[in-house]
Structure 1
Amino acid sequence: MAEEGRQPSMTWLFFSPSGRIGRLPFLLSWLFWFVIGGIFLMQTLKNEEQDTALALWTLALIVSGVLSTVSIAMLAIKRLHDIGYPGPLALCLFIPVLSPIVFVALCLWPGTQGENEYGRHRNGPGR
């Protein structure tokens, strides 16, 4: 987690499994990756007739898919920490039947107030 008194960085938010995040940062980060993937998919489909552009946009789509998968797993771990559960439960996001249920739960379940074993509560009410 970020050092005490310092603001967490975007790298910490997207790619670190340590610490805690609330519902809103989790949802907004997920939406960010959804929009990025949509943009790359749109460009890939738009350039179907141009081989070079198609290859580049397809590569960008694959890279963004890998980055977003890793990032969403890290975000889910931090979100689970905020609720008070261990990070390995984030693997449930990769089980097709459970994935939507776990996602909705992570978006709606409020975090624990104050400090828990994963760190202190950084934001105000409504986490």
Structure 2
Amino acid sequence: MIFIDYQNRKPIYEQIVERFQMLIIKGVMEADSKMPSVRSLATELSINPNTIQKAYTILEQQGYIYPVKGRGNFVSGNQALKEQQKTAFFEKLKTLIKEAKELDIPKELCLQKTKEFYEEGEA
């Protein structure tokens, strides 16, 4: 379910956060399902439990999971999270379009490249 790329420059806790975010947003992990315990995930990934706890804290702050005292962490509903991610995506896209305009990249080329990249993802 979760894998760590030790060659990646990104910190391990950030990789864990990103993996769980995608699993939750894609619906692989359903709302109100139990997250793996900190200890079991740390053992499975052979990393320090504090690293897992840091990732879970970030996921909780972002609204992806919620704690239940004495029972562990659970997945929040993912529909609002999907909308947040879409909004964030479109903000990034807006920034990229502004950058393209500054670089005098024609609108048609942007649209063509967008279509190519989108279709590559479907393969």
- State the TM-score, normalized to the length of structure 1: 0.31
Larger radius of gyration: 2
Question: When you count strand as a share of all residues, which structure comes out higher?
Answer: 2
TM-score when normalising by structure 2: 0.32
